[in-house]
Homo-oligomer: A and B are copies of this chain.
Amino acid sequence: MESEKQKGAPLPTIRRLPSYLRVLRRMQEQGREFISSTQMAEELKLEAIQIRKDLAVTGVEGKCRVGYQVPDLIDAIESFLGWDNLTDAFLVGAGSLGTALIGYQGFEHRGLNIVAAFDTDPYKIGRVIHGKDVFPLDKLPDLARRMHIHMAVITTPAAAAQAVADLLVSADIRAIWNFAPTKIHVPESVVVQNEDLSAGLAVLSVRLAEVLNRSESLEQEA
């Protein structure tokens, strides 16, 4: 049933849920008990109707006049995302991005627990980064089986990513969060989420050019 419910949720809705959670947690810290979709809309610069539609996927409904009960809604979103349970994950590629992600405190509030790191570099193997051991990459399949790990984060250079993905698939990893700047190919039974920083940078570059051109032409007109 859980999976049916989630299957029905559109991707943009899933992507927006963490931002609702962020607002709700801040409200909870401030001791607020209720919040309306209109207040959340103002905070997040979204439409209230959109927010109500998104939140409906969690099964919680707002009450007339008072809105949503903050702690209930937090629980419902966390449970929908599976963030009420920590998912253990391995990280492959203990370079600077890998180190940053291992040290990032925020993941544990978002259901992700990086339990160990892997690398092929003899200078990195055996080190401890933010309390997590760095193991040789070829130990990964054995450890994944023994520790029942199904999620992995790739933070290797682009050139190494596909070979790492193949190894992860062979180790029965079912979900891959890929930060390497390249596409990886995996069987359909494995879920991949690509975090492509260069896509975001492309948008920013094009928009900055627009903004700067616009102010230049305004100056010329003036």
A208 lies within 8 A of chain B by Cβ: yes
Within 156-189 of A, Cβ neighbours of B (below 8 Å) are at: 158, 174-175, 177, 181-183, 185, 189
- With contacts A2-B209, A2-B213 taken as known, whether A203 is within 8 angstroms of B11 at the C-beta atoms is yes
* Contacting pair A111 B3 (CB below 8 A): no
Q: Please measure, in the bound complex, the distance between the C-alpha atom of A215 and the C-alpha atom of B156, giving whole angstroms.
A: 29
**A214 neighbours in B (Cβ, 8 Å):** 3
* Contacting pair A208 B175 (CB below 8 A): yes
A46: nearest residue on chain B (CB-CB)?
Answer: B183
Cβ contact of A9, chosen from B83, B189, B206, cutoff 8 A: B206
A50 to chain B, nearest CB (A): 15
Within 133-162 of A, Cβ neighbours of B (below 8 Å) are at: 150-151, 158
Q: Please measure, in the bound complex, the distance between the C-alpha atom of A107 and the C-alpha atom of B207, giving whole angstroms.
A: 17
Within 105-138 of A, Cβ neighbours of B (below 8 Å) are at: 106-107, 110-112
Q: How many copies does the complex hold?
A: 2
**A158 neighbours in B (Cβ, 8 Å):** 22
* Contacting pair A14 B198 (CB below 8 A): no
* Contacting pair A177 B195 (CB below 8 A): no
**A7 neighbours in B (Cβ, 8 Å):** 210
Cβ contact of A198, chosen from B106, B185, B189, B213, cutoff 8 A: B106
- With contacts A197-B195, A206-B81 taken as known, whether A174 is within 8 angstroms of B211 at the C-beta atoms is yes
* Contacting pair A183 B45 (CB below 8 A): yes
* Contacting pair B212 A15 (CB below 8 A): no
A198: nearest residue on chain B (CB-CB)?
Answer: B18
